[in-house]
Amino acid sequence: MLEPMEPLDEDAKLMVRYRDGDADAFSTLYARHKGPLYRYLLRQVRNAGAASDLFQEVWSRLVATRSRYEARAKFATYLFHIAHNCTIDFFRRDLKMRRAARSDDAEHQAEPEVPEYQRPDGIAEFAEQQSALLAALGALPQEQREAFLLHEETGLTIEEIARVTQVGVETAKSRLRYAIRKLKKSLLPAEIPVRSYGRERFEQHAINGTARRLG
Amino acid sequence: MEPPDDLDEYLRGDSALSRQYRRESAPTPPHALDRRVLGLSRGALGLSDGVHGTARRLTPWLAPLAFAASVLLSVALVLAIVFGPQTTKRVDDAPRLVRVAAHPDATANPPLNRRLQLYSSDPKLARAPSIWLADIAALRRAGLNREADEELRRFRSAYPDYSTGDLAIRP
């Protein structure tokens, strides 16, 4: 899933060129980062519509703040720092809306606190196309999911992930470690109770799972 | 006690987990979103947005060009109406048109007054002397002697040597 990255400061140079009025430099930057950014957002909020809105918001902020840009760090950390902030804002807005909706209707207080973007109708289409790994990724706590996505989609190091998410290095490391541990379990067929299934049923399950992933 | 740490192994790259993740589908933003973002980036620099860029780049040229073409066409039309070949030919064509109209009337033997109206517009028009004399005689018979005298005077001017014979053209 990693897309080839240019040397550390290559993207930063492009951003500086765009800051100084070179529109083509932005096109190159956009082509390099649009995929990782879109997948980061899509797999964070798990809703295509919300991901598209956030995607546009991130680039809009980048464009709006271009005059203040200085190539001090890897461009990806700058871009994904904006994306992180946009995502956090999205989660806060969503939480506030849910609380406001519940306060209007006391009956809703008994319902489990499921975010709007994670309700079945919102993610139905998304979930249909998910593999076991992506399903496990979606089940991770948001911070752990983010750490994994930042590393997989952009190749950021632990230190860079910590910088993007504004936490300590050890915290970022811990989040990534837990994410990996849980996700690896989704890859292991041993998690399926083979004995209770029987050999044939287990094989059929594996075939179906593979077919789903390939389909 | 912590289980064996597989983070280091993962961070070294090419782990089974990373390989599996890379095999997953890799959705990308819709093209409409691409166009919107790129348009936004260009718009911030004061450039056309790329979506309608060509049209917008041409607009500053097309508007005055279209206006100038409209003015030029209007002026040409007015000049054609006022000074055009149709207007200048109209004077030359008028007698010809009268002539064309006169001949069928003459052969169709229209009423006398109508014939006089037609011919009197131009005494030099080709009119057979016999027809002309017959018209004068008809004027006499109708008691229109003044008109008959006038037509006879014109006839004599046009055909001074033509013999009028016994036609009742004289008073």
Q: How many other C-beta atoms lie within 10 A of the C-beta of residue A60?
A: 17
Q: Is A114 on the interface with B (CB under 8 A)?
A: no
Contacts of B34 in chain A (CB under 8 A): 30, 34
pLDDT digits (tens, 9 = 90+) for B18-67: 999 998 888 999 999 999 999 999 999 887 665 444 445 555 567 778 88
According to DSSP, residue A166 is labeled T
Cβ atoms of A52 and B33 closer than 8 Å: yes
Give the residue on A whose Cα is nearest the Cα of B10.
A180
pLDDT of residue B98: 43
Task: Pick left, alpha or beta for residue B169 (phi over 0 → left; psi -120 to 50 → alpha; otherwise beta).
Answer: alpha
Going by pLDDT thresholds of 50, 70 and 90, the confidence category of residue B152 is confident
Is B29–A52 a contact, with Cβ atoms under 8 angstroms apart? Answer: yes
Q: How far is A154 from chain B, CA to nearest CA, in Å?
A: 12
- State which fold the A1-128 domain adopts: Rna Polymerase Sigma Factor; Chain: A (1.10.1740)
Is A30 close to B41, i.e. CB distance below 8 A?
Answer: yes
Q: How far is B57 from chain A (nearest CA, A)?
A: 16
CA of B71 vs chain A CAs: smallest distance (Å):
39
Domain ranges, ordered by start, for chain B: 45-83, 88-158
- Judging contacts by C-beta atoms under 8 Å, the chain B residues touching residue A23 are 41-42, 45, 47
Residue of chain B minimizing CA distance to A1: B22
| Paired tokens of A55 | 């995607």
Region B110-131: mean pLDDT is 62
CA distance B32 to chain A (A): 10
**CB atoms B3 and A56 under 8 Å:** no
Nearest Cα residue to A9 out of A76, A80, A83: A76
A211: contact with B, CB 8 A cutoff: no
CB count in 10 Å sphere of residue B5: 12
For the structural domain made of A130-215, what CATH number should be given? 1.10.10.10
- Res B133: pLDDT: 85
Residue intervals of chain A classified under CATH 1.10.10.10 are 130-215
For residue B51, count other CB atoms closer than 10 A to its CB: 15
Which residue of A lies nearest to B3 if distances are taken between CA atoms?
A181
How confident is the model at residue B102, as a pLDDT? 44
What is the pLDDT at residue B64? 79
In this prediction, residue B48 carries a pLDDT of 66
Q: Decide which of B96 and B11 is more confident.
A: B11
Predicted pLDDT at A164: 95
- Give A103→chain B minimum CA distance, Å: 36
Segments of chain A assigned to CATH 1.10.1740.10: 1-128
Decide if A80 contacts A37 (C-beta within 8 A). Answer: yes
**Closest in B3, B6, B24 to A134, CB measured:** B24
Residue of A nearest to B17 (CA): A184
The pLDDT-based confidence of A98 (bands split at 50, 70, 90) is: confident
Interval A173-183: pLDDT, tens? 999 999 999 99
Question: Per-residue pLDDT tens for B90-115?
Answer: 444 444 444 444 444 444 455 655 55
pLDDT of residue B131: 83
- Give the span between the Cα atoms of A161 and A142, in whole angstroms: 14
CB under 8 Å to B155, separation ≥6 — which residues?
B129, B132, B133, B136, B162
- Whether A55 contacts chain B with CB within 8 A: yes
